Amino acid sequence: MTSTVPSTSLRALAASLPSSFGMWEASGWTEASSSETLPLCDPWTGEKFTEVPAATIDDVARIVRTAQSVFDNRSWSGLAPVQRGRVLIAWADLIEQDADRLAVMISREMGKPAHQARDFEVASAVRNLRWYGELADKLTDDSPRGLHDSVALVTREPVGVVAAITPWNFPISLAMLKLAPALMAGNSVILKPAQQTSASSLRLAELGSLAGLPDGVLQVVTGRGSIVGTALSRDATVACVSFTGSTDVGLRLLGDSAVSNGKTVSLELGGKSPNIIFADAPDLDHAIRTATWAFTFNTGQMCTAGSRLFVEKSVYDEVLRGICEQASSLTLGDPLDPTTDLGPLSSRSQYDSVLEYIKSGVDEGAKLLTAAPGAVDEDRCLLAPAVFAETTSSMQIYRDEIFGPVVCVQPFQDEAEALRLANDTDYGLGAAIWTSDVSRIHRMARGLDAGNVWVNSYEEGVPSTPFAGRKLSGNGADKGTYALDKYSHLKTTWIAL
């Protein structure tokens, strides 16, 4: 995909980003009480381009107190739903107008090609935010009919203070999947973005304020996850932690809830998604192109990455050849260049981690069919996509979420074997099937232990469909009306007549 904005203007925007950011609190920009800051580094240039405050535990406590008092004063929670909806829609408009700047920020923070950040990620954030804004005044409460001498009202109320803790791979769109429904429901929200993508989240909040979010309704606290994230997840005032990130951290949050106030913990975690191509796929070339996209998009740093590819034996050689050709033809390079398909890995440590996995695959005896480990440009954190054949289910590259452009391709004999292989994972986030057989579509879709099943497609969705994982991929759901459960309390009011 090519950009309509000349790369020169994206470069000018990239060069004009502020050299430091504050946190976003009720009073506007603030520093950490320690005055400590953390550098944000561009993985493409290797240079620090800005810095953000490193909040302390005391800063978090202050920010939570503000959130609770703003909730209590009803400046947001007390508005009519239609008024909240109008602000969210105005916010979506401002984000849309600011799309290039946000895209460039994301690009510098974690290396995503700016045209993809704008056309996929920012666009998705705008779409979801608008959807919730428009939904705000269309929901109704319940009441059971036919009660002779009583009336029962089943209503929903905001929970109070929601903490959203988010990862760096899709910083804006994933944050918005939490902010929009939590705010629509009337809560006060504290966003703790991943350290390395804090700047774009801060800009998002600034735009929210310009759109009319009252002071303190949305605050952004920056700093180390181990300090700031833990302080939020152990705070006894925070009513809900809505988390997207790694399985390790997610599971820890359940423990933090248990030792504090039993807060709701909603988890969207890792994945190792199976992509299954049958010989009767309606368009094998399309399946091959999409399968390549599924493990390389965002340089493979995608929770739903199709990182295990299963192919029916009779077309295995053809598909494997096609995947290698497609993967090798992708343009790797400068994230500000509109012709770039894959940017660098998000950081030096992410590059090292993915490279270690590729080497471990070779050491364990898998056959690497594309470029040698480490090929391309180490200084730029650029890594060529790695296609592995002859993998076994005990290999690390087959079992672990790598979060890089690495795929294990394996043949299968029949449907039963495909299903067994697909479900042989600790994760349960996404799965895809390619086939023309309607009965098989239904059998496979029912059998796959995953929250999202795509048939003859990959990664499809609209704002109204839930996005949920199972097993070690998480609990609960983002998107649609389903997301609202965790951001609202149910109340039954029973009236005897």
What residue ranges bind ligand NAP (CB under 6 A)? 165-169, 174, 192-195, 224-226, 229-230, 233, 244-246, 249, 252, 268-271, 303, 401, 403, 429, 469, 473-474
Q: Is 376 exposed, middle or buried (0-12, 13-18, 19+ CB in 10 A)?
A: middle
Can you list the positions of beta strands (E) in 264-405?
A: 264-268, 274-277, 308-312, 367-368, 376-377, 382-383, 386-389
Helix axes 81-97, 171-184, angle to 10 degrees: 160
C-beta of 403: minimal distance to ligand NAP in Å? 6
Nearer to ligand NAP by C-beta: 183 or 249?
Answer: 249
Nearest approach, Cβ of residue 359 and ligand NAP (Å): 21
60 residue type, one letter: V
Residue 489 DSSP code: E
Q: Which of 51, 121, 268, 401 is catalytic?
A: 268
Between 299 and 326, CB nearer to ligand NAP: 299
Contact 436, 447 (CB under 8 A): no
Angstrom distance (rounded) from CA 174 to CA 268: 10
Tell the smallest beta-carbon distance from residue 96 to ligand NAP (Å): 23
The nearer residue to ligand NAP, 94 or 484, going by C-beta atoms, is 484
For ligand NAP, which is the closer residue by CB, 340 or 452? Answer: 452
Q: Which of 303, 324, 381, 408 is catalytic?
A: 303
Place of tokens 């409460």: 141
Minimum CB–partner distance for residue 390 and ligand NAP (Å): 26
> Is 67 or 315 the residue whose CB approaches ligand NAP more closely?
67
Do residues 109 and 171 make contact, with C-beta atoms less than 8 angstroms apart?
Answer: yes
* CA–CA dist 91, 204 (Å, integer): 9
| CA separation for the pair 302, 296 (Å, rounded) | 9
Q: What is the rounded CA–CA span in Å between residue 457 and residue 116?
A: 19
CA 274/CA 450 separation, integer angstroms: 10
Residue 268 appears among annotated catalytic residues: yes
Using an 8 Å Cβ cutoff, are 253 and 243 in contact?
yes
- Reported as type and span, the H/E element at residue 325 is helix 313-329
* Closer to ligand NAP by Cβ: residue 254 or 455: 254
The distance of closest approach from Cβ of residue 263 to ligand NAP in the complex, given in angstroms and rounded to an integer, is 13
- On whether the CB atoms of residues 244 and 167 are closer than 8 A, the answer is yes
- Residue 192: beta bridge partners? 165
Give which of 372, 405, 403 is closest to 292, Cα–Cα.
Answer: 405
Minimum separation from the CB atom of position 53 to ligand NAP (A) = 12
8 Å CB contact between 388 and 413: no
CA distance 213 to 70: 11
C-beta of 369 vs 406, nearer to ligand NAP: 406
Question: Between β-strands 274-277 and 264-268, what pairing exists: parallel, antiparallel or unpaired?
Answer: unpaired
Q: What is the closest distance, in whole angstroms, from the C-beta atom of residue 214 to ligand NAP in the complex? A: 25
Cα angle value 81/86/90 (rounded, 5°): 150
> Is 401:272 a contact under the CB 8 Å cutoff?
yes
Please say which residue, 221 or 287, places its beta carbon nearer to ligand NAP.
Answer: 221
Q: How far is the CB of 259 from ligand NAP (least distance, A)?
A: 13
Catalytic residues, by residue number, are: 268, 303
